[in-house]
């Protein structure tokens, strides 16, 4: 939570933005850049306000036959909510697609159904931000260990 709080404290409160791990795939006849729903999605206050007041009446927010991430991206775009870049100053991911352990080996499994836009120029082992916010596709039984490791890694990193 500390990393999320720190990340959001540096954002403009008046901007309608959402953040997550950027991936791209072909959907509904076009290439769509969308947040991977397993890695987590965060909305700014203004973005949440806009979704809450206008989302019910928008056809893109209530009936697009697509995956959750693609549908979410289309809804946000139709409401004028921008997809922000959540990577850190070194272009490392704050929202991970997989559990942290998967990134330790530089041979991530291929994903033929989408392109990972945050791994284009980085080795997987060097793509994890020191200010990590979330990770996806991990067995729930491993969350406490990951949380402990990530939190302590950040404490040690910030002291040096």
pLDDT per residue over 74-104, tens digit each? 899 999 999 999 999 988 889 988 877 777 7
Q: What is the pLDDT of residues 97-123, one digit of tens each?
A: 887 777 777 776 666 667 777 777 677
Q: Residue 156 pLDDT more than 50?
A: no
Output Rg (C-alpha) for the chain, integer angstroms. Answer: 16
* In contact, 117 and 87? CB cutoff 8 Å: no
Query: 59 vs 41, which has greater pLDDT?
Result: 41
Q: Percent of the chain having pLDDT more than 70?
A: 81
Confidence category of residue 44, pLDDT binned at 50, 70, 90: very high
- Mean per-residue pLDDT for 116-141? 77
- Mean per-residue pLDDT for 40-69? 84
Predicted confidence at residue 145, as pLDDT, reads: 64
The domain spans of the chain are 11-83, 95-159
Tokens at 102, concatenated:
């998967």
Task: Tell me how far apart the alpha carbons of residues 74 and 33 are, in angstroms, rounded to a whole number.
Answer: 9
Task: Tell me how far apart the alpha carbons of residues 48 and 45 are, in angstroms, rounded to a whole number.
Answer: 5
Tokens at 75, concatenated:
């809804």
Confidence category of residue 135, pLDDT binned at 50, 70, 90: confident
State the DSSP code for 141. Answer: G
Q: What is the pLDDT of residues 21-39, one digit of tens each?
A: 998 888 767 788 999 888 8
Look-up: residue for tokens 């990972």?
116
Q: What share of the chain is helix, strand, coil (3-state, %, to 5)?
A: 40, 20, 40
* In contact, 84 and 17? CB cutoff 8 Å: yes
Look-up: residue for tokens 């990590």?
132
Paired with 27 in beta bridges are 30
Look-up: residue for tokens 């979330």?
134
Q: Tell me the average pLDDT of the chain.
A: 80
Residues whose CB is less than 8 angstroms from the CB of residue 154 and which lie 6 or more positions away in sequence, other chains included? 2, 3, 130, 131, 132
* In contact, 19 and 84? CB cutoff 8 Å: yes
């Amino acid at each position: 939570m500390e990393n999320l709080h720190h990340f959001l404290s540096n954002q403009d409160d008046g901007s309608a933005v959402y953040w997550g791990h950027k991936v791209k795939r072909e959907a509904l006849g076009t290439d769509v850049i969308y947040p991977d729903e397993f890695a987590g999605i965060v909305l700014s206050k203004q973005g949440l306000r806009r979704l809450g007041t206008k989302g019910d009446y928008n056809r893109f927010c209530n009936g697009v036959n697509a995956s959750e991430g693609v549908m979410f991206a289309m809804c946000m775009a139709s409401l004028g909510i921008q997809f922000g870049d959540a990577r850190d100053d070194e272009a490392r991911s704050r929202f991970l697609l997989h559990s942290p352990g998967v990134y330790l080996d530089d041979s991530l499994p291929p994903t033929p159904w989408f392109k990972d836009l945050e791994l284009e120029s980085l080795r997987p082992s060097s793509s994890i931000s020191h200010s990590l916010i979330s990770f996806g596709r991990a067995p729930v039984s491993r969350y406490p260990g990951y949380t402990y490791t990530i939190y302590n890694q950040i404490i040690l990193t910030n002291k040096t």
